Amino acid sequence: MATDRRPSLGLAACTAIVVGNMVGSGFYLSPSAVAPYGLLGILFWIVMGVGAMCLGLTFARLANRLPVTGGPYAYTRAAYGDFAGFIVAWGYWISIWASLPLIAAAFTGSLLKLVPALAGNRPIAVAITLGAIWLVTLTNLRGVKEAGRFAEITTYAKLVPFGAIAILGLPWVHFRQIAEFNPRSEEHTSELQSLAYL
């Protein structure tokens, strides 16, 4: 009886890929984007978390009912036909390759903040961004096992500081310094009042 010798990903690598897709650059960049909104930003996180869980449960149910490869393409094709499946696959493919440069740029921006001496050096920033893209590309070209191992290393490495800050940083939280529910609404109100006097 012949065995299947095709390279496959183990549980750790598959988990790392899924977690890596969920905990991307936006997970680290969005706190600074919603920080001006005070506690309303936490409400944003809760709503987004509920939405992400609903999306994950939807795909889990679809995978259980239709255990085929292809993800969103396969499910859409089975429900609505070839053309709808093609549109979803095409849109998903475009969203993937269009977002990769942004992820690499976010990586470069975070790295340059750690090394202030390189900040403002555009050629260095471009070189780091292109180098990050090519590193991931060459790793994927080496094979499935190497790509899975790379996903494990990078995903678990970025979760360690996040967990450390979340747990070890609790003693330094000063609840009296927490902002109001939506400080931006007060700014907006003051702007409207100033316009009313014009």
In order, the DSSP letters of 114-174 are H-GGGTT-HHHHHHHHHHHHHHHHHHHHH-HHHHHHHHHHHHHHHHHHHHHHHHHTGGG--
Q: Could you read off the pLDDT of 86-144 as tens digits, one per residue? A: 999 999 889 888 888 888 888 888 788 888 877 778 888 899 999 989 998 898 888 88
Q: Could you read off the pLDDT of 43-62 as tens digits, one per residue? A: 888 888 898 889 889 988 98
Amino acid at 22: M
Rounded alpha-carbon distances, angstroms, from residue 197 to 88, 184, 188, 190, 193: 51, 20, 15, 11, 7
CB neighbours of residue 139 within 10 Å: 16
Beta-carbon contacts of residue 40 (< 8 Å; ≥ 6 apart) = 34, 181, 182, 184
User: pTM to 2 decimals?
Assistant: 0.61
